[in-house]
Amino acid sequence: MIHLMDSPPRPPDGGFPPFLLAVAGVSSFLLAALGVGLMRRLARRRKILDQPTPRSLHSRPTPRGGGLVIVVLALVAVPAFSAFLPAVRWTPVIAYVIGTALMAGISWLDDLYSLSPWTRLGVHGVASTIVVAGCGAGPAIAVPILGELFLGWAAYPLAVLWLVAVSNAFNFMDGIDGMAGLQALVAATAWGAVGVHLSLPLAAGLGVVLAGASLGFLVHNWSPARIFMGDVGSVFLGFSLGAVPFLAAAGTGPGSGRTGTLPLLAVAFLWPFICDTGFTLLRRAIRGENVLQAHRSHLYQRLVLAGHSHRAVAVFYGGLAVLGALCGLAWLLLGWDAAPVAGTVGLGAVLWGSVRWRERVMRAGQKR
C-alpha cells in the first residue's frame, strides 16, 4: 500500500504566491483569446486553411494554426515564472523549452507543407530525448494497488517512448471542434492542482498557463469552430502535458520526493485520449491496416458519424476527462488505490458502450 497522504509541510501554491498563479492564469486566457483572434485573420489572409477531405469531419475551409499562440505563451511563461524561483534548476527548464520548440517547429512545418510521418517521428524522438536527458527519469514509479515498480535504466527509453506516443495521440484526437482544447483545459487544471498540493512549482505554473491558454483558444474553437488548433498546437499540448512529470520532478519544492506518483497521474489526466487512440490503433493493426494512414475510425469520429454533434461529443469526452482526473486526484489526495484502476476500466467501458449503442441506433433507423 502506498501512503500518499503522508506529505511534508509545504509552502502555499507550489512555491508561488497565490496572486502570481492567478495573474498567470488570467493573463494566459486573455492573451490567448486575443492572439488566436489575430491568428485567425492572419491565417485567412495567408491561406493557411484546413481543406475538407473525404476523411474530414468538417465541410468548409477553416483557418488552422491557432495552437501557435498557446506555444508562444508557454515558451515565454515557463522561463519567466522560473525566474521567480530562486532554487530552480535551469537545466530541465532549458531542456523543456528546446524540446517543445522542436516539437512545435516540426509540427508548424507539417501544417504548412504536410511532411512525411517518419520525418515528424524522427524529430519527435529527438525532442523527447532532449527533455528526458535534461529532466531525468525516476528509476521507480508508484502503481495503484501494486505499490512501487522499479524500472532502473529502462525508465529513460520508456519516458522517451511515452512522450512520442502521447504527443501523437493528442494530435490524432484533435479532429472535432473544441475537444482537444477541452481535454487540455481539464488535464492542465489537474496538473495545477497537483503542483499546488505537492509544492511542485513548475507543475503548478505550467498547469495554470496551459489551462488559461486552452480556455482562451476555446473561445474561438468551440463548435462551430472559427479556427483549428493545427498540429502545432495539438502535438505541443500532448508533449507538454506528458512532460509535466519529468519537468516537475526535476524542479524545486518539498514535493519532489514523491514524484513517483506523477507518471500514472499523467495517464489518468489524459485517459480518454489515450484509451481511444490505443484501442483504435490496436484494432487497425489487428486488421492489417496502416496505422499511420489517416482514417475516420477513432471512437470519437464514429460517434460523430453516427449522428452526434461535435459539441455533444466534445462535452462527452470532456466529462470523461474530468472523471479520469478525479480518479487520479482521489489516488493522490485520499490514498484510494482502487480509484485509478476502477476509473480506467469503467471509463473505457462507458466509451466503448456509448459508441456501440449509438451505432446500433443509427443502423436501426436506416433499416426503417
251-266 pLDDT tens trace: 655 444 456 788 999 9
Q: How many structural domains does the chain have?
A: 1
pLDDT of residue 54: 58
Buried b (16+ CB within 10 A) or exposed e, 80-96: ebbeebeebbeebbebb
Q: Which residue has the cell 468551440?
A: 222
- pLDDT digit string (tens) for 57-71? 656 788 999 999 999
In a domain, 1, yes or no: no
Instruction: Judge contact between 47 and 61, C-beta under 8 A.
Output: no
According to DSSP, the β-strands at 49-50 and 62-63 are: antiparallel
**From the centroid of its chain, how far is CA 13?**
22
Domain assignment present for residue 123? The answer is yes
Share of the chain above pLDDT 90, in %: 59
Q: Is the pLDDT of residue 73 over 60?
A: yes
Nearest to 131 by CA among 90, 81, 97: 97
**pLDDT tens per residue across span 84-108:** 777 778 899 999 999 999 999 999 9
How far is it, in rounded angstroms, from Cα 58 to Cα 355? 20
pLDDT for position 249 = 74
Which of 21, 171, 20, 15 is CA-nearest to residue 87?
A: 15
3 belongs to a structural domain: no
Place of cell 505541443: 236
Residues 367, 36 contacting (CB under 8 angstroms): no
Question: What average pLDDT does the structure give for the chain?
Answer: 87
- Say if 6 falls within a structural domain: no
pLDDT digits (tens, 9 = 90+) for 310-346: 999 999 999 999 999 999 999 988 888 888 888 888 9
Does residue 7 belong to any structural domain of this protein?
A: no
Which range of residues forms the domain containing residue 126? 12-52+59-367
Closest to 308 measured CA to CA, from 351, 252, 356, 358: 358
Do residues 277 and 172 make contact, with C-beta atoms less than 8 angstroms apart? yes
**Is the separation of the CB atoms in 256 and 10 below 8 Å?**
no
pLDDT score of 366 more than 70: yes
- Confirm whether 5 is domain-assigned: no
Instruction: Compare 115 and 256 and report the one with higher pLDDT.
Output: 115
Query: Residue 29's pLDDT is what?
Result: 97
CA 233, CA 108: separation in Å to the nearest integer?
9
Mean pLDDT throughout 167-191?
95
